[in-house]
Structure 1
């Protein structure tokens, strides 16, 4: 997230939501004439930097308002907020795109209006092969960026790379572990670490085991984090040893720029990975402008900023892959979102294990 960001923070249910106002011009680009077009964007940090937004505004003579979120839960809450104008485009992972499509919140995309999709790598042009992006023959999401969600570790405290996500529970790291504050991902990565074949579709018995495991993880935790910048500050200030890297290589890049000597590893049991996509909401007031935004984000000069600034991969160029043989699972829809969130709220609040 650019250093010129002013953050207004408030609560959206159990999740933290951040509305971003860039003093260098993102939302303060000057008065808007009565006939100006306005595009409202819901995105993650690093996806809509101020200079990128200014370029779009100048080209299309439009005003862009960006709201940033720090979790899937916050994204969902903001899409259902009653006291704010509706959004036109959003960035979400494939599982969430499928969820939003089923909830009739998204509009199908006209690929003819998105010529830059032809610049994407073949695997990202094969939209029907990516679960969650198509429904009834129509496209609802366009891949934008992705990362695995591995282990980040301090090389000074852990000179040999850990081999399993279960190292988060190693008592030698008590008080030196960071975890991402998310119900869906915590249950899923723990299931994968325990060897469950279907970490997104857990039965009642598996949920009980994983719940107790996540309660036990609290003994090792320094705290939970939401944003990558927050995790970086905690990691350095409190000499963290291990962290579940929800933002993956983006966090590694931030930590190294901050001077931390960290390593990144995909555990032997495999790793979850997210593929974030752009989508247009059903409530988009100017669909031509919304499609122009999605196509603009796929221009080489814009997508090329992801690896340069964020340490993330884009869908136009193949990254150098040191984990070609690793087991990587794109996150998928879970069996019961509400149940996971209810349990997670109790876990985070410190509820005793015998009460579950």
Structure 2
């Protein structure tokens, strides 16, 4: 599951429903990925910086923009930071389309939707000195935020969706996701699962390993038969699930004893603050997520936007954001700044590219098969949402 091998199809997957039938639109460049033609609006890139404006309006995940570093940024640049928190990628996309925000911390399931709709602009990395050699290779030049040779996203951090377990109950370290998917799991009734249609990709990853005859090559490229198989597996799991969690409920599900094993995030496992809770990346691999700063095409404060992207790409500030949110930092130099930083990077596998080769970053399925197949039509996110409704009942 080498990300370098799947990158061409991952490009289209991350775009989402906005790309269905978008080929052949008016203007812009056209890129081919996995046999798909994707029309890209010709949004100009800034050639040079001007004077900083007096403010910058930022859309961000909770924990990405905090006074601990915004105060210093304002003192250094004169740019007052106005922050709005969003809860989902869909909300972020909708808000960016209002034209009221300069920057967004976009995940891979939002970034290309913004690119292909002309909501964000390509970035001149020469104007962002901290976007240099210290940014980990696995987060530079990825096709979910780099298109036609243009960079649209400045990496912030990444993470894997891991298998968490209570070692007092699950006494042997699991090596497979079978403990959450198989009907004979000894932990039935105590299994935590992520509450989203995109969780179908987790089922697809398990089927890739256990039912190769289905022919699944990309967990975000499922034809009707493959989606039906993943849905059946999830219905089987549904009978064993103790709780479908959100970030707000995951920790209490485990600490309260409602769940003893299930999918989780590294930061949520850490938040349990009890050594009996452990985690592992199973042999089948996992899903995951990656975030980047993106600048609005019609940003009213682009110079402050560039200043923010450079400031937050420095080892110290990028590391603060990563530690505050709970993720692997994008700037690998942070890992050498202190013993605490090294421990954080080790915990989140920050510079371990072999680890992240096992991770399929969240993308949004579309009608075109993202594994390159042209003889069938694949299912899209609306199909997944309908299937998810039948799973949860």
Instruction: Answer yes or no: same fold by TM over 0.5.
Output: yes
Residue 98 in structure 1 maps to residue 115 in structure 2: no
* Structure 2 contact 140–155 (Cα < 8 Å) conserved: no
When residues 99 and 166 of structure 1 are mapped into structure 2, their CA distance, relative to the original with a 3 A threshold, is farther
The answer to whether structure 1 residue 290 and structure 2 residue 314 are counterparts is no
Shift in alpha-carbon separation, 1:193–1:230, aligned structure 2, 3 A:
same
The separation in 1 between residues aligned to 2:292 and 2:233, in whole angstroms, is: 32
Indicate the RMSD between aligned Cα atoms, in angstroms. Answer: 2.6
Shift of 1:77: 4.1
> What is the CA distance between 1:140 and its match in structure 2?
0.7
The answer as to whether partners of 2:164 and 2:263 remain within 8 angstroms in 1 is: yes
Q: 1:46 aligns with which of 63, 66, 82?
A: 63
Structure 2, unaligned stretches of length 5 or more?
1-52, 209-215, 336-344, 367-379
The answer to which of 159-168 and 188-197 deviates more is 159-168
Q: Does 1:115 align with 2:129?
A: yes
2:171 matched residue in structure 1: 159
2:156·2:330 contact (CA, 8 Å) conserved in 1? yes
Equivalent position SS for 1:263? strand
Encode CA deviations 1:40-72: one digit per residue, 9 max, x unaligned: 222222222231222223333333232223333
- 1:315 maps to 330
Q: Structure 2 vs 1, CA of residues 255 and 316 (structure 1 numbering), >3 Å: closer, same or farther?
A: same
1:331 to 355, 362, 373: 362
Question: Do residues 145 (structure 1) and 157 (structure 2) align?
Answer: yes
Does residue 343 in structure 1 map to residue 387 in structure 2? yes
Higher strand fraction: Structure 1 or Structure 2?
Answer: 1
Q: Structure 1 residues 283, 307: closer, same or farther in 2, change over 3 A? A: closer
Give 1:232 deviation, angstroms.
1.1
Aligned to 1:63: 80
2:280 to 259, 265, 273: 265
Question: TM-score scaled by structure 2?
Answer: 0.70
> Which of 262, 267, 276 is residue 243 of structure 1 equivalent to?
262
Per-residue displacement from partner, 1:307-346 (whole Å, max 9, x unpaired)?
A: 5444421122264348946733333442222322333345
Counterpart of 2:202 in structure 1 is: 189
**Alignment partners' CA distance in 2, 1:342 and 1:111:** 41
Q: Alpha-carbon deviations, 1:247-274, whole Å to 9, x = none?
A: x322222223xx3521111111112232
Which of 232, 241, 246 is the equivalent residue of 2:251? 232
Instruction: Report how many aligned residue pairs link the two structures.
Output: 304
With 235-244 and 156-165 compared, the bigger mean Cα shift is at: 235-244
Q: Which moved more, 1:52-61 or 1:286-295?
A: 52-61
Which residue of 307, 314, 317 maps to 1:302?
Answer: 317
Aligned residues of 1:164 and 1:267 also touching (Cα < 8 A): yes
2 CA distance for matches of 1:211 and 1:77? 29
Deviation of the 1:111 alpha carbon: 0.9
1:280 shift after superposition: 1.0
Taking the aligned partners of 1:96 and 1:160, their CA distance within structure 2 comes to 38
Whether 2:222 is the aligned partner of 1:202: answer yes
Please list every run of 5 or more consecutive structure 1 residues that lacks an aligned counterpart in the other structure: 1-35, 351-356
Deviating beyond 6 angstroms after TM superposition, the runs of 4 or more aligned structure 1 residues are none
Distance 1:49 1:160, change over 3 A: farther
Q: Is contact 1:40–1:64 with CA below 8 Å preserved after alignment?
A: yes
Q: Which moved more, 1:46-55 or 1:296-305?
A: 46-55
Residue matched to 2:294:
279
RCO higher in structure (CA 8 A, sep ≥6): 2
Deviation per CA, 1:261-319: give whole Å up to 9, x if none: 21111111112232211111223211111111111111222112245444421122264
